[in-house]
Amino acid sequence: MSHPLDRPQINVRETYPHEDTLIAEHFYQMWRDNDVPDSSIESNWSEIIIKFIDRARQELCYKAFAIEVDGVVVGSTSCQLFAGLYPQILAAEYRKYGYIWGVYVEAPYRGRGFGKQLTTMAIDYLKSLGCTRAILHASPSGQQVYTSVGFVASNEMRLDLK
């Protein structure tokens, strides 16, 4: 029989700006885990991500969340207002989208519901901003996580040009 003190202490929390490098590392590793070769990732990836986060924090209500096991961060996600791909002429009450990106859990901790917990925290934050929809782009391995919290496939169409 396990003792309550033998169970790992799990904490999901908002991250702090000084942890942006950790968010960057997780985002990089997410791409690597999805078979993107290192040669296809910009060598200054960390600088690019941190600059993106700085701008999103200032202009798009960016927040990130981390999950800790026994005080060690093992996963994270980021979210923000969606900046859009075309001119925004629709009223916010009709279309105010939030975007979730960089959901990542280190390999030894996958399959324990941590990705779902992180995604739910991001959804709750986007709801608090008055968002009418949350969107994300799922890796094949993440699709089941996202459908389990209510995401459905959209009408996005894609044509590979290369």
pLDDT at residue 53, as a whole number: 98
Tell me if 158 is assigned to some domain.
Answer: no
Q: What's 97's DSSP letter? A: E
- Domain count for the chain, please give it: 1
pLDDT at residue 4, as a whole number: 57
Q: For the sheet containing 72-81, what is the strand order? A: 10-14, 63-69, 72-81, 97-105, 133-135
Tell me if 152 is assigned to some domain.
Answer: no
Q: Which residue has the tokens 């989208």?
A: 97
pLDDT at residue 76, as a whole number: 98
CATH number, domain of 34, equals 3.40.630.30
CA angle 81, 86, 87 (to 5 degrees): 90
For residue 84, is pLDDT > 90? no
Tell me if 99 is assigned to some domain.
Answer: yes
Helix (H, G, I), strand (E, B) or coil at 30: helix
pLDDT at residue 1, as a whole number: 56
Q: Which residue segment(s) compose the domain that 134 sits in?
A: 8-147
- 50 within 8 A of 83, measured Cβ to Cβ: no
State the Cα torsion 131-23-29-55 to the nearest 10°: 60
Tell me if 159 is assigned to some domain.
Answer: no
- 52 within 8 A of 101, measured Cβ to Cβ: no
Give the other-Cβ count within 10 Å of 69's Cβ: 17
Distance CA 11, CA 14 (A): 10
Q: What is the pTM of this model?
A: 0.90
User: What does residue 131 show for φ and ψ, rounded to 5 degrees?
Assistant: -65, 145
Which amino acid, one-letter code, is at 160? D
Q: Which pLDDT tens digit goes with each residue over 24-37?
A: 999 999 999 999 99
Question: Nearest CA to 47 among 29, 73, 21, 22?
Answer: 21
Q: How far is CA 30 from the centre of its chain?
A: 10
Tell me if 1 is assigned to some domain.
Answer: no
